[in-house]
Amino acid sequence: MIKVIKPGLQTTVQDQGRIGLYEIGMPPSGAMDKFSYTVGNLLVGNQRNAAALEITYLGPVLQFGRKLRISITGGNIPPKINGQPVAMWETLEVQEGDTLSFDFVQSGARTYLAVEGGIDVPVVMNSRSTYTLIGIGGFQGRALAEGDELAVGDMHEKKVPVGTRIDPSLIPVFQKTHEIRVVVGLCSYRLTEESKAVFLESEWTVTPEANRIGYRHKGERLKFVERQQPFGAGSNPSNVTDLGYPIGSIQVPDGVEPIVLLHDAVTGGGYATIATVISADLNRMAQIKTNEKVKFVSVTLEEAIGARRNLRDQLMKIADAI
Q: Which stretch binds another protein (CB under 8 A): 17-25, 171-179, 198-206, 216-224?
A: 17-25
The type of residue at 194 is E
d(CA 111, CA 18): 20
Among 23, 193, 226, 320, binds another protein (CB under 8 A): 23
d(CA 263, CA 248): 8
Min dist CB 273 to another protein, Å, is: 8
Q: The dihedral of CA 128, 131, 135, 141: what is its sign?
A: positive
CA 168, 171, 313, 315: dihedral to nearest 10 degrees?
A: 100
> Is the CB of 25 or the CB of 161 nearer to another protein?
25
CA angle 2, 78, 133 (to 5 degrees): 55
3-class SS at 48? coil
Do 69 and 116 meet the contact criterion of CB atoms below 8 Å apart?
yes
Among 4, 277, 286, 294, binds another protein (CB under 8 A): 277
Do 225 and 235 meet the contact criterion of CB atoms below 8 Å apart?
no
Min dist CB 204 to another protein, Å, is: 18
Do 12 and 54 meet the contact criterion of CB atoms below 8 Å apart?
yes
> Is the CB of 119 or the CB of 272 nearer to another protein?
272
For position 16 contacting another protein by CB under 8 A, the verdict is: no
Q: Kindly determine how many residues on this chain lie close enough to bind another protein according to the rule CB under 8 A.
A: 53
> Is the CB of 91 or the CB of 276 nearer to another protein?
276
Min dist CB 176 to another protein, Å, is: 24
d(CA 82, CA 101): 8
x-or-dash string of contact with another protein, 237-276, rule CB under 8 A: --xxxxxx-xxxx----------------xxxxx--x--x
Please list, in sequence order, all residues whose beta carbon lies within 8 angstroms of the beta carbon of residue 60, skipping any fewer than 6 positions away.
Answer: 4, 5, 6, 7, 8, 11, 53, 101, 102, 144
Among 31, 155, 222, 304, binds another protein (CB under 8 A): 304
x-or-dash string of contact with another protein, 175-214, rule CB under 8 A: -------xx-xxxxx-------------------------
> Is the CB of 71 or the CB of 195 nearer to another protein?
195
Residues forming the site for another protein (CB under 8 A): 19-26, 133-136, 182-183, 185-189, 230-235, 239-244, 246-249, 266-270, 273, 276-280, 301, 304-305, 307-309, 312
